[in-house]
Chains A and B, each alone.
Chain A
Amino acid sequence: MVTPVQESTKLVTINIDGTEYSVPEGGNLVDMAKWFAGNDIPVFCYHPKMEPVGMCRMCVVELGSVSRDRATGDVQYNEDGTPVIRWFPKLQTACTQTVTDGMYIKTDTEKVDAGRESVLEFLLTSHPLDCPICDKGGECPLQNLTMDHGNGVSRMYYEDKMHLDKHYPLGDLIWLDRERCIQCARCIRFQDEIVGDDVLAFHERGRRLQIITNSDPGFDTYFSGNTTDICPVGALTTGDFRFGARPWELTEVPSISPWDAAGENISLSTRIDRDFGGKTMIKRVMPRQNEHVNEIWISDKTRFGHHFTRSDNRLQSALVNGSERSWDDALATVADALKGSDGDVAAIAGGMASNEDAWELAQLMQGIGGERLGTWSPTHTGADLVAQVGLPNGSNLSNLGKGDAVLIIASDLEEEVPMWRLRLKQAQDRGAYLVVANSRLTKMEDFATDTWAIDNRDVEGSAVEYAPGQAVEAMQNLDDSIAKRLSEAENLVIVAGAEGLTLDGHRALVQLVANFLIDSGHAGKENSGLLVPLPGANAMGLHYLGYTPEATQDIMMNPPKVLITLDADVSDDPFASEWLSKVDTIINLTMFADDSLSGNVIQLPVQSFAERDGTFTNGERRVQRFYTAQGPMGEALPAWKAIANVRQILGQGRAKLSAAAVMLDITKNVEAFDGMRYKALGRVERQFPDVGGEDKYYGGTAYQNKGGVGLQIPLMGGAKKADVKAPVAVHSSSDEIVIVPTTRLYNRDAKFAPTLLVQPRVATPFAMLSPSDAENLGIQDGDSIEISFGDNSVVVRADVTNHVSSGAIYLPRQLSEDATPLVPTTGTVVKTSAAVAS
């Protein structure tokens, strides 16, 4: 449980309205009063995730302390034996107080009431009266607190009110209503303190103080949507939800982000809606508090990426060789194909396959003698090592700080797992030493090198640059002083990505990292361990259920007669048509039909995460539940159910009726999942800081976690060092260049493309190369270039930049219509047309 009290915490006694409480020394008074006394001191500017600023003055209380004799330090007593309390003559802001022994506060006096009432009156003098049409109406801290503490009448003349811009775009995604803004600076502070990208600020002063951005590009971070949750009024709204629904019409359904290994806890705000044929649909995605995972933040991709679940392009009924069939027909065809396979069947499961889906598929495979279970996409490996030297249960990235260290190697974490980037960046702010190693500049390297003193704290970091593909060598030859600091850190977290590495190369890197953690004594230590930005939401779950990327590699080399793909877009591999041509029958369980598949193809429509129950196991081995939120698309079924039906036809037993029953099956058969029944996974706990409760001021009603905080799979003990096989590096001959695939959070993946709001911000296809490589190739910045590899090619814009090392061209995946390499390979580059002069 995440509480303010830890083993080592020293407790002090404070007195709130006459009652004594024992609270951790140094805690924030507002937080402590709430947690220990259930006393909701109203706030606007204060937010427990950010430094207090004392701006709004709403939190005023009477503050005093036990009087002590100056000379002796002894407590002074009244005649009746009670201690003498020295009260401040003026009200004091609670949010700026850290508790100390002998602190006295009063929150229920007339003076305090009058202060709160005055602050509210002042705030409302210039606030517009448009609550009935405001997106925040119904869940608005200002509205709520006015009901509780306001005096109900306004003494401000209407004609004296200030009028300001009501529809100001702060970027493509976030709108600002300047009349509603109460200048609490939460959005500015969020960008500055939490994200580390200070693209928001105040402009002018006094009553004309207003939020601006003047950065290029504007308010364009991957976390911008969080500002709309923490905005205590309706001043900030997302382009996605603006005027979308009234908060009180919405039903909150707990869910899990399907995009990446972080497993962000979310709440799907749903409503029965005409726009979705009268079915229940997602109107917005909100963060749900899980202090172990995402605290109260989510990435914009998670927030805005839900549109694919209702896309018209979803596969809505089964297809056999391109023509629509009933489920019965299609399943019979599938069963026949499997029967005729002689056990030469392989399966590949991808990013959004749940534990239940993967389990049923694995069972099906076992029943028919298929042995190879692969993961998609086969770019990263090391799940087995995460199971051994990952962060042990009870760890929390929020615990990292002074004395600790973080190494991020071969990963563009901002693009791969934005939530980890957010939380590790904050670890750095709290004092952790951050090392970023890559062959090109990434956002995280910015933080590691461009260190500055943030509000009195020294931020420390180092950058390690290596030649393309040389991550293993870089890890082996870490600078002594850096290696020493990492080894000697109290806690050490290492993120080992796969950028520039083949699967073998990545295997070598994660093993090397595991060895390092074992050597330094960090393996198995709380708050220390290995993280791998494995693709998809459930890569760790797939691992525990027997799937490996190495199997995928093998399947690609030696294709089976029958291939089952489960949410695995194998056509993303530019070489797919080659190896798939050797497969007789492809059974594709998918949300989007793949038109490029040829031969015998059965495509079965499966449900997205939003339409069904299920669980994902995140990159920290936390098994988390998502719940049915949205009406189904066409005839789509949960994948586990479709597979169970096939199993029933094949005589493998009666199909289970619910995802819960499937999970029960898993818990009985797979040791890692022992005890992880749905009921246990759905258990909630009180979390510190308490932002999801019944209070009226933290804003964003969705924080409350009603769906469970999940359970972590324990580490497998006995981690041992292993020899590292030097990987075969990708080398280029003289007329070729190494192509290093990279990841972009915003891309043209079929599942993200339906999020039209964000599509304008998806980069046009490009590739980065160094000025010297560009010169050798006769390429200039902005030229159109054709990159060829094998029989394939793509045309992209050349981005000539000294942010990348020489010796490779960096080609982001999933930006262009044509498939680009999944793993590093070699190819040629030619200029097709010159840059258009602007």
Chain B
Amino acid sequence: MVEQQYILLRGREIENIHELDVYTDNGGYEGLKKAIGMDKGAVIDEVKASGLRGRGGAGFPTGVKWSFIPQNEPIKYVTVNADESETGTFKDREIMETNPHQLIEGSLICAYAIGAAAVYIYIRGEYLDVADVLEKAIDDATEAGFAGDNIMGSDFSCPVYVHLGAGAYICGEESALLNSLEGKLGQPRVRPPFPAQKGGGLYSEPTVVNNVETLANVPFIMTEGADAYKAIGTEQSAGTKIFCVSGNVKNPGNYELPFGTTFRELLYDFAGGPKDGREFKALLPSGGSGPIVPLNDEVLDCKMSYEHTGAIDTIIGSASLIVMDDTVDVTWVASKVTKFFHHESCGKCTPCREGTYWLDRVLDRIMAGTATEADINRIDNVAQNMQGLTLCALGEFAANPIIHTIKNFREDFLQHVDGGTELEAAGD
């Protein structure tokens, strides 16, 4: 049986590792120390070689991202994406709450490698508690010389700051996050230029935006080496991953497992399987934004990795598994998730702003039993029209729950539309 392997959730093995001295007693800040003794390019090469990919959802190779930063620009930044607002995601919270120094260390290694002037941790506003933990850890680290001026006596200086969000899922999208941090509306930017390019990052300076979990892996890579890291996981998905399991299972929670673990192992061996007397029905493997799948044997036997989930028509994304058992009406799920995206659409681009509103209105009617089968086809088509037209991926995400719930669970929808009446369309 696979075992949980704690590269990130070390707080589960080492009590009080959130405290600086406990962290340093257990090898803390050794990775940073090693990095500072290395050539910047060598640090980036090591991260590249480790095969580490971004844990924010898109899985972009982290070392490659760092290497895009133009070294000759005088000012650069690191921004840590701690906005964690995807429905069903709570992994970054546990890292920051129980092992904050590892994130700080990882982000400072990145800062060193790209020559950043500062690290900003953008944390969602609802994580006020967690922000307090981070602030304390930063203060301690700064006082001890692990952050701020002349880190560990070197000529590398880099302050770490926390910036609290205020309730907007879209600020997890990296360019919206940068706007928000600059005090502008948290709406995505047109790209190119990308954050790593001059003109595209924070205050227009080249900027690395990485997820909390991504950066928390970096100290391990520095101390243990790229090969040790690459040895964990699968061919294209190196390392461990924190899988957030929520919904209708016996033991919801975070599980840190190597990539390549199957859905079955995770959901039965760790999450305890369905509640007594129930059966699994459906799974959202990547929160509200990824395609829903029926939770059948084919899915259960699929390996969880960036390269394997395509075979079952979904993605691993942020690995936020929301599990639904046989008591759940998937139409209701579609309606819940659509409400989320309607609520969170930033409004900047037409298809998402108008589409999420429209879908939500029709789903309300479907749930109320006043819609017809034509309405089901209509929202399916509207959702497809949104895809490929929006400015950022939120609009794509918003279309997923409609398209894939209807594709995989049409019978659930049909239960709602008997007896509905066709309404008059505006403008006919």
Contacts and interface: CB of A to CB of B under 8 A. Distances in A.
Complex: A in contact with B (CB within 8 Å): yes
Interface of A: 52-58, 60, 90-91, 93, 96, 114-115, 118-119, 121-126, 129, 153-162, 182-183, 201-202, 204-209, 453, 456
B343 interface: yes
Given A126-B357, A183-B353, A161 B426 contact: yes
A126 B354 contact: yes
B133 interface: no
B354 A157 contact: no
B347 A119 contact: no
Contacts of B348: 53, 55, 183, 209
Nearest to B344: A206
A57 B204 contact: no
Contacts of A91: 388-389
A155 B423 CA distance: 10
Given A156-B426, A205-B346, 11 more contacts: A114-B385, A156-B358, A156-B427, A160-B358, A202-B347, A205-B168, A205-B185, A205-B345, A207-B347, A207-B356, A209-B348
A161 B423 CA distance: 13
Contacts of A160: 358, 361-362, 426
Contact of A206 (B185, B343, B378): B343
Contacts of A159: 423
Contacts of A157: 361, 423-426
Contact of A156 (B347, B389, B425): B425
A207 B427 CA distance: 20
Contact of A122 (B355, B426, B428): B355
A153 B428 CA distance: 6
B417 to A, nearest CB: 15
Given A54-B190, A91-B388, A157-B426, A118 B351 contact: yes
Contact of A153 (B170, B351, B425): B425
Nearest to B170: A205
11 contacts: A53-B190, A56-B350, A57-B351, A90-B388, A122-B353, A153-B428, A158-B425, A183-B350, A202-B185, A206-B357, A207-B357
A826 B202 CA distance: 55
B424 A158 contact: yes
A228 to B, nearest CB: 21
Point out which of B190, B203, B204 has the most chain A C-beta atoms below 10 A from its C-beta: B190
Given A57-B389, A158-B426, A52 B190 contact: yes
A125 B354 contact: yes
A118 B385 contact: yes
B199 interface: yes
Contacts of B223: none
B349 interface: yes
A68 to B, nearest CB: 18
A156 B385 CA distance: 14
B199 A129 contact: no
* Residue among B168, B345, B427 with the highest chain A CB neighbour number at 10 A: B427
B75 interface: no
B101 interface: no
Contacts of B427: 124, 129, 153-154, 156
A351 B273 CA distance: 88
Nearest to B204: A456
A206 B351 contact: no
Nearest to B345: A206
B389 A60 contact: yes
Contacts of A207: 342, 345, 347, 353-354, 356-357
B104 to A, nearest CB: 29
Nearest to A129: B427
Name which of A159, A182, A205 has the most chain B CB atoms within 10 A of its CB: A205
Interface string B345-384: 1111111011111100110000000000000001000100
Contacts of A208: 347
Contact of B390 (A57, A155, A453): A57
A75 to B, nearest CB: 22
Contacts of A201: 185
B423 A205 contact: no
A182 B353 CA distance: 10
B64 interface: no
Nearest to B425: A154
Interface centre among A156, A158, A160, A206 (most CB of B within 10 A): A206
B391 interface: yes
A790 B169 CA distance: 69
B423 to A, nearest CB: 4
Interface in B8-44: none
A157 B421 CA distance: 12
Contacts of A155: 378, 382, 425
A137 to B, nearest CB: 15
Interface in B149-184: 168, 170
Nearest to B200: A456
B353 A206 contact: yes
Nearest to B355: A122
Nearest to B388: A90
A96 B425 contact: no
Contacts of B350: 55-58, 119, 122-123, 182-183
Given A123-B354, A158-B426, A209 B347 contact: yes
A206 B346 CA distance: 5
A429 to B, nearest CB: 15
Contacts of A156: 358, 425-427
B357 A162 contact: yes
Q: Which among B351, B353, B378, B425 has the greatest number of chain A C-beta atoms within 10 A?
A: B353
Taking each of B356, B389, B428, which has the highest tally of chain A beta carbons within 10 Å of its own beta carbon? B389
A57 B190 CA distance: 12
Contacts of B342: 206-207
B310 to A, nearest CB: 16
Interface string B77-114: 00000000000000000000000000000000000000
A125 B358 contact: yes
Q: Which of B348, B354, B382, B385: most chain A CB closer than 10 A?
A: B354
Nearest to B362: A160
B357 A119 contact: no
Contacts of B347: 183, 202, 204-209
A119, A129, A201, A204 — most chain B CB neighbours (10 Å): A119
Contacts of A54: 190, 349, 391
Contacts of A122: 350-351, 353-355, 358, 385
**Which of B347, B386, B423 has the largest count of A CB atoms less than 10 A from its CB?**
B347
A456 B427 CA distance: 44
Nearest to B168: A205
A418 B94 CA distance: 58
B184 to A, nearest CB: 10
Nearest to B188: A54
Which of A124, A125, A161 is the most central at the interface, judged by chain B CB atoms within 10 Å of its CB? A125
A121 B354 CA distance: 9
Interface in B263-277: none
A561 to B, nearest CB: 68
A56 B349 contact: yes
Interface string B183-196: 00100001000000
A121 B385 contact: yes
A427 to B, nearest CB: 21
A352 B314 CA distance: 72
Contacts of A53: 190, 348
Most chain B CB neighbours (cut-off 10 Å) among A93, A126, A155: A155
A129 B348 CA distance: 23
Contacts of B204: 453, 456
A281 to B, nearest CB: 36
Contacts of A206: 342-347, 353, 356-357
Contacts of B385: 114, 118, 121-122
Interface in B403-419: none
B349 A57 contact: yes
B361 to A, nearest CB: 4
A154 B427 CA distance: 6
A453 B203 contact: yes
